[in-house]
């Protein structure tokens, strides 16, 4: 049976995959979602940015793909979640204000009832009148008490709802700064962490170092064993990095097969020593297929190191570490180089 929606989505998916193949980019979920958004034409800003990069460079790197995803796709989802959370909080506040207004009116009426009762008691001292006035006054105060109890319960429910919304917003914030494959900080999270670390290093006059790592011949590995095994390698690298650093350090997936490690309180010699330990640990890993036990060979990385220069921008530090990484690549890979 003809299904226009199904046919359309399949066509868009095929076009997205063709784009990924043509540009030799990773076909991970984030990349697929980015190119699906692109070919569907639902985000004009994204399409203009992609077209400009390809027109200028003739290609698009995996790091640029990740950055575009963070800026145009992930951020859009985050904005939608924040907007939805804001609407929920606004609705709760409106409800509370309405109940408070109702309570104020009821309390005002109760106060008027008390004034009337006082006047009547002053002019009608007989027991029957006093009893009737007292009963009416009790009913009025009971109404106020019930409304206050209802408001208290509603306030408790609203507090719980707002706490739930805050938790959801916290999750959105974490997800927006986390790489879904490795559970490391993504490029956005890395940028935020490095900027903060650079500011602290500059203010306190403390050392700061940065490692940029790239998996050697990763595209060939993906072509040979497939992207699922490639993702397994990315996770293995991420685990090795996290096991190699201290609690104050930040490990991030910078993009594609590239990783970054922010090292506060670490000078150049300490950073180079750590880079070599990481490189050796990764190289010594024996990779095998779980299903067959087949050896996948050794995985190696090239590492660039840079140390913070007082007063410089975080971006400059990244550029120097990246230049050192490419120097390591040109030196034959599976080695570490440090920026002067």
Query: Which residue numbers are catalytic?
Result: 257
Q: How far apart are CA 215 and CA 238, in angstroms?
A: 11
3-state SS class at 1: coil
Contacts of 311 (CB under 8 A, 6+ apart): 202
In the chain, how many H helices and how many E strands? 11, 7
On whether the CB atoms of residues 197 and 264 are closer than 8 A, the answer is yes
Can you read off the two tokens belonging to residue 26? 């990773």
**What b/e readout covers 206-226, taking b as 16+ CB neighbours within 10 angstroms?**
ebbbbbbbbbbebeebbeebe
H/E stretch holding 16: helix 4-22
- The DSSP bridge partners found for residue 301 are 215
Q: Where are the alpha helices (DSSP H) in 177-291?
A: 187-204, 218-225, 227-244, 268-283
Instruction: Measure the CA–CA gap between 215 and 296, rounded to whole angstroms.
Output: 14
**DSSP state, residue 69:** I
């Amino acid at each position: 049976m003809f299904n226009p929606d199904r046919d359309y989505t399949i066509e868009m998916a095929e076009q997205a995959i063709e784009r990924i193949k043509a540009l030799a980019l990773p076909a991970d979920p984030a990349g697929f979602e980015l190119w699906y958004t692109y070919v569907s034409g639902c985000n004009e800003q994204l399409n203009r940015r992609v077209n400009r990069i390809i027109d200028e460079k003739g290609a698009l790197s995996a790091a640029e793909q990740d950055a575009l995803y963070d800026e145009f796709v992930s951020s859009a989802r985050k904005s939608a979640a924040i907007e939805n959370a804001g609407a929920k909080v606004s609705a709760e506040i409106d409800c509370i204000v309405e109940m408070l207004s109702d309570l104020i009116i009821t309390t005002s009426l109760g106060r008027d009832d008390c004034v009337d009762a006082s006047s009547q008691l002053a002019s009608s001292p007989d027991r029957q009148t006093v009893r009737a006035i007292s009963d009416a006054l009790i009913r009025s105060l009971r109404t106020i008490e019930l409304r206050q109890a209802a408001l208290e319960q509603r306030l408790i429910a609203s507090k719980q709802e707002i706490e739930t919304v805050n938790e959801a917003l916290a999750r959105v914030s974490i997800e927006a700064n986390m790489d879904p494959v490795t559970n490391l900080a993504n490029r956005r999270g890395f940028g935020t962490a490095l900027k903060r670390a650079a500011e602290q290093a500059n203010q306190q006059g403390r050392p700061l170092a940065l490692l940029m790592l790239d998996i050697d011949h990763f595209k060939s590995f993906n072509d040979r064993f497939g992207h699922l095994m490639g993702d397994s390698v990315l996770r293995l690298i991420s685990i090795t990095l996290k096991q190699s650093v201290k609690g104050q350090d930040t490990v991030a997936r910078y993009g594609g097969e590239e990783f970054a490690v922010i090292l506060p309180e670490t000078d150049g010699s300490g950073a180079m020593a750590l880079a070599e330990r990481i490189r050796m640990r990764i190289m010594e890993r024996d990779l095998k297929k779980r299903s067959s036990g087949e050896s996948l060979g050794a995985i190696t990385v090239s590492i660039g190191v840079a140390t913070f220069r007082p007063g410089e921008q975080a971006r400059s530090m990244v550029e120097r570490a990246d230049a050192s990484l490419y120097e390591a690549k040109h030196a034959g890979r599976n080695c570490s180089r440090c920026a002067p």
